[in-house]
């Protein structure tokens, strides 16, 4: 007899033995099937029997084994979240939204190993990703990481991509970077600024690149010369360092458009320490609208990026893919909005 065989009788030396459905069945004097029915809240069980089973579950500390359930159902009720860099604000906020949305749908969110992009090609006979216990993957690309095929991701699992090159033949959800950069720049232009410097994120970042492109494009469209883009690394310190250099040179611009709020903070710091004022001497615009932006000194004018919506959309899309909906390779672009605060003002008289 194979029942009650997992050592539950439990010596102290065998601490972690977990009661199986059979243990409960034996304990309650019913069949495993009946225990299963009770565990799943099915109605066709006589109340007396149910109570007996419930008592046994209680007594044995029974908890269903999800591996067995997964094996049976072929589903894990979990979605995988892959990033190559969890430590950025946008990615964390996106993860947040994904975790909440998937929780609401009864799914769990699994953080998949952040593969070193340079090591992708050593992947073995099959990709590591898809053997994970997830039903689908949300991939936050952030930056160039070699082809997706190399990632070994394409084969089986439903996939939604966030923050990427929008030309990929996959379902994609993203912030409309171009639109965001344009409204920021237009605001500056409307204020009379003609000499605007852009501080970008790292060169390999998709979103940074698209904002920088929009900068060049917008300036060109306005028949204005674009200054060389200053390349930062998203961190406030890089904004500060770059701005210091910039302000030490001949002609400081009348406005700076930073590719995120943190670098904008650095720019304002550099302005303050020169004894200049924001926006009196120089206007500053950020990107993201972090929670702190409105409390910066002065309150930062910035582009509000809706990470929650990106995460929610990505999750919804992925869930529908998991449910077998046909993959329409939709591309969803979430619109941003400009939040005007105190860091921008009319250009200073020449």
Q: Could you list the residues that contact DNA (CB under 7 A)?
A: 2, 5-6, 18, 20-22, 29-34, 36-37, 39-40, 43-46, 48-50, 64-65, 67-69, 71-74
Q: Pick from DNA, its own copies, none: which does 126 bind, CB < 5 to 8 A by kind?
A: its own copies
Region near its own copies per CB under 8 A, out of 29-37, 94-102, 205-213, 280-288: 94-102
Q: Can you tell me the distance from the alpha carbon of 181 to that of 199, in angstroms, rounded to the nearest whole number?
A: 12
Q: Can you tell me the distance from the alpha carbon of 81 to that of 121, in angstroms, rounded to the nearest whole number?
A: 21
Name residues whose C-beta falls within 8 Å of residue 211's C-beta, 6 or more positions apart in sequence. Answer: 177, 178, 180, 181, 198, 200, 201, 259, 287
Q: Is 277 in the site for its own copies (CB under 8 A)?
A: no
Q: Can you tell me the distance from the alpha carbon of 79 to that of 190, in angstroms, rounded to the nearest whole number?
A: 45
User: Which residue, among 273, 278, 287, has the nearest Cα to 198 in the 3D structure?
Assistant: 287
- Residue 341 tokens, joined: 């605060």
Min. distance of Cβ 158 from DNA in angstroms?
Answer: 17
Min. distance of Cβ 97 from DNA in angstroms?
Answer: 30
Q: Is 65 in the site for its own copies (CB under 8 A)?
A: yes
Q: Is 10 in the site for its own copies (CB under 8 A)?
A: no
Query: According to CB under 8 A, which one of 34, 110, 177, 283 is a site residue for its own copies?
Result: 110
Query: According to CB under 8 A, which one of 32, 123, 133, 222 is a site residue for its own copies?
Result: 133
Phi, psi of 343 (to 5 degrees): -95, 0
Nearer to DNA, 21 or 310 (CB): 21
Name residues whose C-beta falls within 8 Å of residue 241's C-beta, 6 or more positions apart in sequence. Answer: 266
Q: Quickly tell me which residue has 């809240």 as its tokens.
A: 41
Nearer to DNA, 29 or 346 (CB): 29
Residue 179 DSSP SS3: helix
Query: According to CB under 8 A, which one of 36, 45, 49, 64 is a site residue for its own copies?
Result: 64
Q: Pick from DNA, its own copies, none: which does 58 bind, CB < 5 to 8 A by kind?
A: its own copies
Min. distance of Cβ 135 from DNA in angstroms?
Answer: 14
Min. distance of Cβ 200 from DNA in angstroms?
Answer: 45
Name residues whose C-beta falls within 8 Å of residue 64's C-beta, 6 or more positions apart in sequence. Answer: 21, 39
> How many positions of this chain bind its own copies (CB under 8 A)?
63
Phi, psi of 174 (to 5 degrees): -160, 160
Name residues whose C-beta falls within 8 Å of residue 6's C-beta, 6 or more positions apart in sequence. Answer: 17, 18, 20, 23
User: Which residue, among 56, 54, 46, 50, has the nearest Cα to 23 in the 3D structure?
Assistant: 56
Q: Pick from DNA, its own copies, none: which does 341 bind, CB < 5 to 8 A by kind?
A: none
Q: Kindly list the residues in this chain that would bind its own copies in the complex (CB under 8 A).
A: 15-16, 18, 39, 54, 57-58, 61-68, 70-71, 74, 76, 78, 86-87, 92, 95-96, 99-100, 103, 108-114, 125-127, 130-133, 155-156, 235-237, 239-240, 262, 265-266, 268-269, 272, 291-292, 294-297, 299, 324
């Amino acid at each position: 007899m194979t029942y009650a065989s997992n050592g539950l009788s439990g010596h102290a030396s065998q601490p972690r033995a977990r009661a199986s459905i059979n243990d409960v069945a034996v304990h309650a004097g019913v069949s495993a099937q009946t225990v299963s029915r009770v565990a799943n809240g099915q109605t066709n069980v006589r109340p007396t029997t149910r109570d007996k089973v419930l008592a046994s579950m209680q007594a044995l500390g029974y908890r269903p084994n999800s591996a067995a359930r997964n094996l049976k159902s072929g589903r894990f009720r979990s979605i995988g979240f892959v990033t190559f860099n969890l430590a950025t604000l946008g990615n964390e906020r996106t993860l947040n939204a994904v975790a909440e949305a998937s929780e609401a749908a009864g799914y769990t969110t699994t953080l998949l190993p952040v593969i070193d992009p340079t090591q992708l090609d050593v992947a073995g006979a099959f990709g590591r990703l898809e053997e994970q216990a997830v039903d689908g993957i949300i991939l936050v690309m952030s930056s160039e990481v070699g082809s997706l095929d190399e990632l070994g991701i394409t084969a089986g699992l439903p996939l939604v991509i966030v923050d990427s090159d929008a030309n990929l033949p996959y379902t994609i959800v993203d912030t409309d970077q171009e639109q965001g950069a344009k409204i920021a720049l237009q605001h500056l232009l409307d204020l009379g600024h003609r000499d605007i410097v852009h501080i970008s994120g790292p060169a390999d970042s998709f979103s940074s690149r698209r904002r920088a492109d929009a900068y060049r494009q917008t300036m060109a469209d306005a028949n204005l010369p674009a200054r060389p883009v200053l390349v930062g690394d998203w961190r406030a310190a890089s904004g500060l360092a770059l701005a210091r250099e910039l302000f030490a040179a001949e002609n400081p611009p009348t406005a700076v458009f930073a590719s995120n709020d943190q670098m904008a903070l650095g720019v304002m710091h550099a302005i303050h320490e020169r004894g200049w004022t924001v926006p009196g001497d120089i206007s500053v615009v950020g990107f993201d609208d972090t929670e702190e932006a409105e409390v910066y000194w002065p309150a930062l004018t910035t582009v509000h990026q809706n990470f929650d919506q990106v995460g929610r959309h990505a999750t919804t899309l992925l869930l529908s893919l998991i449910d077998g909906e046909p993959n329409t390779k939709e591309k969803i672009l979430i619109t941003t909005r400009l939040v005007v605060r105190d860091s921008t003002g009319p250009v200073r008289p020449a």
